[in-house]
Each structure stands twice: as C-alpha cells, then as structure tokens.
C-alpha cells in the first residue's frame, strides 16, 4: 500500500519487519524481493510520485568542486529515485575488478563468482534480457566484429553493454508497490537520523520527518539504507548522537575514497580501410534488447601491465562543431540547444552533448541541415518514433556513420580510489536540519596516465591487427584529459561506504552490514571499493538482490 507522510500523525510510530530507506532502484529491489516473499516491509521515501523542488533541494551540496555536478543533475529525489532520469546502460563489473591488484587501494572482500550468480535477476529487474555480455555467446551477433577483420586478443571488441527500457522503476514497479499488501510505501517522508540503542550496538529506530513537519519513528528488526551513494553516507554522518563521528566511521573510512569515472574523448579512431564495415551503432539481440560493442582489455593484460580497467567505445563527433558536416548532428544540436532540449533527455546528458571547445555558430549548422534536409527529416521521423513514441523498449541513442573513416572515442575508465577524494558534512543544514555535504573529488596523475596508457595499448593493437590507429586530439594530452573531467563526477557514486573484510579497512562487511551491526545494512554503489569501467547501477542491483536473499535467510519463514 502507499500512503503520504501527511496522513501520519505527528509523533507516531510505524513498525515492520524490515525498514528500507529510499525507493531508488536498489531500495525498490530489496523491498519487493522481501515483500514478494511475504515479509512486512516499510519503504520510506523522501520524494513523491512527482518531482518536488522543495524535496529535491534537500540534496544540494555546499562548495565548488569543479569535478562535480550539482545534485539536481546527479540524483532525483522522487519515487523511483534517479531511475526517473537514468540512461539505462547495464554493464556488470568484471572479474578483474574483484581481483587482488597490488597497485589498487580498492580491495574487494568478495569474489566475482559470488556476485555473478545474481546478474540474471539484476537483468530481470532492469528488463535488459539475458545476462550475456559477450557477442561470442550470442549466435545472432557472433558472426561479425566491431571492425571488419578485428579479432579478440588482449584487446577485446566483443564485450557488450546492454540497455534497459530504460526502466523507470517508478513506472514499472510503482503500481506493485502501491498494491503489495506486505509493503508499506510512505512517500514524502525523509529519514534524518538513525538512532541507536543505548549501548550503541544496534538500531533502536529511525527518525523521519515530512516537509509538513510531521515527525515519526520507524521501528523494525532490520534496517536497509538505500538512499543513493552520497545520501547513504550523509545519513550515517548525521546519525552521530551515540557515535560522534557518525555510524560506520569507526575506522575513519566513512566519506573517504569517493570515486566517479575517468571520462575523456581525447582520441579518434582512424580506419586503415574506409570500406571496412564498422558496428558503430546499437545492435539488437534475439530478444530485441539493444546492445553495443566496446573495446576492453583482457584480465590477464590488465594484470601484466598494472592497468586500470577501462572500456572505450565509438561516439558521434562533437555536436557543436559544424565541421562534422552532418545534417542530422546539426539538427540534433540545435534541438538540444532549444527550449525543448531539456524535455528530450536528462539535463546532465543534454549538457554533456553540448560540451565543446568550439564556439557555437548557428550559420554553418543551418547550412549543414539545408544540404541534407532529406536524410535529416527521415532520421527525425525514425528516431523520434523509436525514442519517444514507441511503447516499451526505446532506442538508447543514435550514431552517425563517419564519412571521413574517423570516429571519436569515449574512454570510460576506472577512477582509482584515493583517500584524499572525499565527501564530508558541513555546518550548513538543509530544511529538515540535516548537515549538507561538500565533495572533494581527486583525480591523480596516475588516473590520467592510465587513460593515456589505455589509449596507447588500443592504438598499438589496432595497428598490429592492421585495421587502424588512434590520433590524439591535443598535443597537451594531460591537460586535455584533466579538463574533460570537469563536471563529470556525481552521476556514479562509489567508495564512500566501502566494504571490507576487516572493520579497520572499511564501513560495511561483504554482506553489506555496517561493521559491528547485525541489523543495519547499506544497499548502495557507495559500498564498492573500486569503480570499474562499468556504470555501477546494474552491479548495485545484483548486490541488492543478494542482500534481499541474505535478509530472507536471516528472517526465515515468508513465502518461498
């Protein structure tokens, strides 16, 4: 059932077997996995079904971290959380991420083989088909490669990303949440503090407040914080009455090791033979799910070269630069710049598409459109239908075949975990009295060197295979890469409640319980000790499913 916080009396108590805080993808998965098994769950959500600027504003940051975006671009405080705006790219973390790597400070206390069995259930939640992430394992895709004649070696080009609908968890699971007899969904209620029992070893209750100043207590046997990476960290910091440094900060790791991703479009791929076929666009598997090929580096090669994990894929040229000569790209550029632009895609993605070193000039874009009006109109009809009008699965994006045999590349790599990369509470309070966070994302020279080495390895491999080479876009490549990182952090929030074997090394256990607690769990990508090449939500959902199984096991009973 669903009820609004305004229906609760001030000072009331809500009770359940399990309390889940936050109804983003991870919170919904934990709540429904348990609810479907018959356990009584209360799901406390700060937002409503519709966006509300007063609630969204609760997440605002303090300070001016040049690498970080504003929180209204990075998270959505609404039923369904940030899945209301996410892109839907589903990629699992790789075995190498879980390996011991002497140069990495992000050691996982759990093996890949313990997480991989949950990938199919994560696919089911994300509606992204089979948990198959290599073109070799899909007969319908196995017959060709990313570039004609290119074989897998220490560089692979058969690894796939999958795309969900994109699944908006509010739209897909909202009705079930509202109807489920065992799930008590309370919207418009923000958890502002986790209050511990007098001896500090267990949770006594949650303090929750609504925007209408109703204050209630939530009591349960088990508590799951699923408020998103930064908000989970913030709630633990704010819960400091019995633990002055915050819950889970016993060894000083809470808020540390904040990671994003290394993202740069620093290089172009040049084809050796213009006539070679390139799988630059999305393909569909036999279930109709959109997938896309990318370059990755083999596990063995990464170990041998102490190389951070990375994926590299083909992207369109910068839209803003009319030098691309494409009517379609110029048309999209002008649409995204127009007042309608922010209605077409998530604002963060729109701004990313408009980023360019080139000054905006209208005339050349109009000339591009005039010379290719036919193809541009056909594209607008086909893409507009597939992306916005068709029911169900949407086209994730579009790619234009290069007429110059050169393709811009996106390097999307692991951001190393650095102790000096952190989030911390400040003395500024939000409207409900919670301390606001400031962020300090740190990218080291080693991060930049990893990106350069990854691009160099790819260049050498393409040359060896005689299919092409890379050209760098700037002679001062270090500065170019660093500039590309400005304003990219905050979308993927990892590291700040890291999991560890030893309580001295982290915040939560391999089972996501806060060290020293048997009743308090964190379901968030912030528990990941390293950031991988992969966007984190899919693996976060796999961990959420695993956590729900763990809690079911603890509680026993319920429907199987």
Ligand X SMILES: Cc1cc2nc3c(=O)[nH]c(=O)nc-3n(C[C@H](O)[C@H](O)[C@H](O)COP(=O)(O)OP(=O)(O)OC[C@H]3O[C@@H](n4cnc5c(N)ncnc54)[C@H](O)[C@@H]3O)c2cc1C
- Specify the residue, 309 or 537, whose C-beta has the smaller distance to ligand X: 537
Stretch binding ligand X (CB under 6 A), from 24-32, 358-366, 387-395, 469-477? 24-32
Q: How far is it, in rounded angstroms, from Cα 207 to Cα 163?
A: 38
348 binds ligand X (CB under 6 A): yes
Q: Which residue number, 73 or 266, has a Cβ lying nearer to ligand X?
A: 73
Strands 215-225 and 13-21: parallel
> Greatest CA separation found in the chain?
75
> Residue 54 or 559: which CB sits closer to ligand X?
54
516: helix, strand or coil: coil
Q: Residue number with the shortest CB distance to ligand X?
A: 24
CB–CB of 542/122 below 8 Å?
yes
Interacting residues with ligand X between 57 and 86 (CB under 6 A) = 74-75, 77-78, 81-83, 85-86
Q: How far is the CB of 429 from ligand X (least distance, A)?
A: 14
The verdict on 44 binding ligand X (CB under 6 A) reads yes
- Is residue 161 a contact point for ligand X (CB under 6 A)? no
Total residue length of the chain: 560
- Applying CB under 6 A, does 25 fall inside the site for ligand X? yes
Considering the complex, state which of residue 226 and residue 329 has its C-beta at the smaller distance from ligand X. 226
When the beta carbons of 240 and 405 are compared against ligand X, the nearer one is 240
259 is an interface residue for ligand X by CB under 6 A: no
Near ligand X by CB under 6 A: residue from 535, 547, 548, 552: 535
Contact flag: residue 414 with ligand X (CB under 6 A): no
Binding flag, residue 92, ligand X (CB under 6 A): no
Select from 2, 18, 19, 27 the one that contacts ligand X (CB under 6 A). 27
Q: By CB under 6 A, is residue 106 in contact with ligand X?
A: no
User: C-beta of 256: minimal distance to ligand X in Å?
Assistant: 19
Q: Residues touching ligand X: how many (CB under 6 A)?
A: 42
Which residue, 83 or 157, is less far from ligand X as judged by CB?
83
DSSP 3-26: EEGGGSPTT-EEEEEEEEE--SHH
Q: Residue from 16, 18, 26, 451 that binds ligand X (CB under 6 A)?
A: 26
Q: Can you read off the two tokens belonging to residue 332?
A: 């999209």
Within 10 Å of residue 1's Cβ, how many Cβ atoms? 12
First to last CA, the chain: 21
Cβ proximity to ligand X: between 2 and 46 the closer is 46
Nearest-angstrom CA–CA distance, 481 and 487: 13
Q: x/- string (CB under 6 A) for ligand X, residues 318-347?
A: ----------------------------x-
Q: Which of 39, 49, 89, 205 binds ligand X (CB under 6 A)?
A: 89
Q: Output the CA torsion 329→335→338→340 (10° steps).
A: -150
Stretch that binds ligand X, among 41-49, 180-188, 374-382, 400-408 (CB under 6 A): 41-49
Q: Does 167 bind ligand X (CB under 6 A)?
A: no
Quote the CA–CA distance of 136 and 545 in Å, as a whole number. Answer: 27
Instruction: Note whether 126 and 550 are within 8 A (CB).
Output: no
User: Residue 505 contacts by C-beta under 8 Å, 6 or more apart in sequence?
Assistant: 107, 251, 253, 498
Q: Is 181 exposed, middle or buried (0-12, 13-18, 19+ CB in 10 A)?
A: exposed
Give the C-alpha separation, 538 to 525, whole Å: 10
Rule CB under 6 A: say whether 87 interacts with ligand X.
Answer: yes
Angle at 311 between CA 491 and CA 259, to 5 degrees: 35
Burial class (CB in 10 A: 0-12, 13-18, 19+), 557: exposed
Say if strands 215-225 and 520-522 run parallel, antiparallel, or are unpaired: parallel
Cβ proximity to ligand X: between 261 and 268 the closer is 261
Q: Are strands 267-271 and 283-284 parallel, antiparallel or unpaired?
A: unpaired
Closer of 146 and 235 to ligand X (Cβ) = 235
- Lay out the site mask for ligand X across 474-493 (x = CB under 6 A, - = otherwise): -----------------xx-
Cβ proximity of 293 and 409 under 8 Å: no
Q: Rounded to the nearest whole angstrom, what is the least distance from the CB of residue 275 to ligand X in the complex? A: 33
Q: How far is CA 397 from the centre of its chain?
A: 17
Contacting residue, 45, 65, 447, 459, with ligand X by CB under 6 A: 45
State the residues that interact with ligand X by CB under 6 A: 21-27, 44-47, 74-75, 77-78, 81-83, 85-89, 190-191, 226-228, 231, 235, 346, 348-349, 491-492, 524-525, 535-538, 540
């Amino acid at each position: 059932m669903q009820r609004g916080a305004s229906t609760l009396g001030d000072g009331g108590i809500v009770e359940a077997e399990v309390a889940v805080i936050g109804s983003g993808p991870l919170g919904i998965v934990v709540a429904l996995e348990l609810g479907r098994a018959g356990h009584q769950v209360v799901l406390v959500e700060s937002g409503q079904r519709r966006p509300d600027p007063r609630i969204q504003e609760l997440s605002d940051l303090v300070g001016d971290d040049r690498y970080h975006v504003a929180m209204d671009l990075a998270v959505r405080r609404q039923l369904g959380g940030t899945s209301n705006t996410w892109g839907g790219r589903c990629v699992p973390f790789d075995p190498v991420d879980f390996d011991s790597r002497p140069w990495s400070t992000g050691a996982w206390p759990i093996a890949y083989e313990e997480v991989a069995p949950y990938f199919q259930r994560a696919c089911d939640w994300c509606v992204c088909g089979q948990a198959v992430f290599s073109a070799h394992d899909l007969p319908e895709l196995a017959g060709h490669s990313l570039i004609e004649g290119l074989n897998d070696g220490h560089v692979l080009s058969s690894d796939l990303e999958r795309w969900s609908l994109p699944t908006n968890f509010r739209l897909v699971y909202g009705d079930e949440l509202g109807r489920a007899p065992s799930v008590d969904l309370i919207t418009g209620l923000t958890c502002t503090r986790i209050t511990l029992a007098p001896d500090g070893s267990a949770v006594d209750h949650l303090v929750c407040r609504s925007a209408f100043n109703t204050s209630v207590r939530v009591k349960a046997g088990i508590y799951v914080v699923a408020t998103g990476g930064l908000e989970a960290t913030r709630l633990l910091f704010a819960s400091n009455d019995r633990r002055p440094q915050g819950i889970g900060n016993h060894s000083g790791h809470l808020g540390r090791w904040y990671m994003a991703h290394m993202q740069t479009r620093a290089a172009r791929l040049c084809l050796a033979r213009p006539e070679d076929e390139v799988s630059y666009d999305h393909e569909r598997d036999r279930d109709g799910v959109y997938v896309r090929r990318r370059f990755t580096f083999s596990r063995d090669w990464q170990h041998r070269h102490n190389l951070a994990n990375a994926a590299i894929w083909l992207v369109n040229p910068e839209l803003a630069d009319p030098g691309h000569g494409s009517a379609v790209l110029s048309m999209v550029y002008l649409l995204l710049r127009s007042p309608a632009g922010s209605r077409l895609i998530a604002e963060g993605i729109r701004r990313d598409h408009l980023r360019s070193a080139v000054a905006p000039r209208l005339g050349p874009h109009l000339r591009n459109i005039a010379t290719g009006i036919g193809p541009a109109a056909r594209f607008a009809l086909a893409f507009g239908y597939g992306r916005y009008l068709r029911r169900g699965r949407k086209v994730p994006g579009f790619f234009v075949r290069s007429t110059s045999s050169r393709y811009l590349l996106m390097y999307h790599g692991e951001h190393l975990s650095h102790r000096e990369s952190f989030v911390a509470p400040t003395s500024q309070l939000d409207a409900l009295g919670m301390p606001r966070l400031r962020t300090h994302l740190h990218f080291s020279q080693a991060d930049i060197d990893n990106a350069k080495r990854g691009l160099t390895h790819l260049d050498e491999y393409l040359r060896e295979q005689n299919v092409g080479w890379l050209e760098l876009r700037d002679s001062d490549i270090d500065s170019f890469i660093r500039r590309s990182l400005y304003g990219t952090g905050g979308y993927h929030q990892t590291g700040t409640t890291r999991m560890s074997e030893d309580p001295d090394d982290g915040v939560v256990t391999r089972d996501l319980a806060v060290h020293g607690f048997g009743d308090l769990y964190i379901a968030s990508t912030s528990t990941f000790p390293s950031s991988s090449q992969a966007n984190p939500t899919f693996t976060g959902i796999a961990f959420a499913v695993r956590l729900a199984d763990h809690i079911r096991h603890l509680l026993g009973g319920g429907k199987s």
